Amino acid sequence: MNEKQYNKLTNVIIGAAIEVHRQMGPGLLESVYEECLLFELAERGIKAERQVKLPLRYKGIKLDKYFYVDIIVENEILIELKVVEDILSVHEVQLVTYLKLANKKLGLLINFHEAVLSHGIKRKINGML
């Protein structure tokens, strides 16, 4: 996937998230936004998987521990959803770590608690696009 394709898909994801926020407002559970966002992405013809298991690898060995990514879109973009007062650096680091574990280049951190959703969206890159 090239940079233009990443940007186009990112715009569709953000548009879907804004529609969910417009319809539902802030302050609900993360699982509600996840369900609604998956619906909006499907309506736009976008393939998305929820609660994707990422195995823990340590020194090249797969251990019996998993991390769960909220949503992976088109097997390319990770989405980590939050409903928190403020996005903290630990939330951003979590997304970057998931990008590395999943060997993906781009992730979005979306905080549905914001009054204006665009203020709660962070884009993170693992390596160069």
> What mean pLDDT comes out for the span 51-64?
92
Q: What does the pLDDT read at residue 98?
A: 93
On the question of pLDDT at 9 being above 70, the answer is yes
Q: What does the pLDDT read at residue 127?
A: 78
pLDDT tens string 69-112: 999 999 999 999 999 999 999 999 999 999 998 999 999 999 99
The mean of the pLDDT values for the chain is 95
SS (H, E, C) the chain: CCHHHHHHHHHHHHHHHHHHHHHHCCCCCHHHHHHHHHHHHHHCCCCEEEEEEEEEEECCEEEEEEEEEEEEECCCEEEEEECCCCCCHHHHHHHHHHHHHHCCCEEEEEECCCCCHHHHEEEEECCCC
The pTM of this model reads 0.93
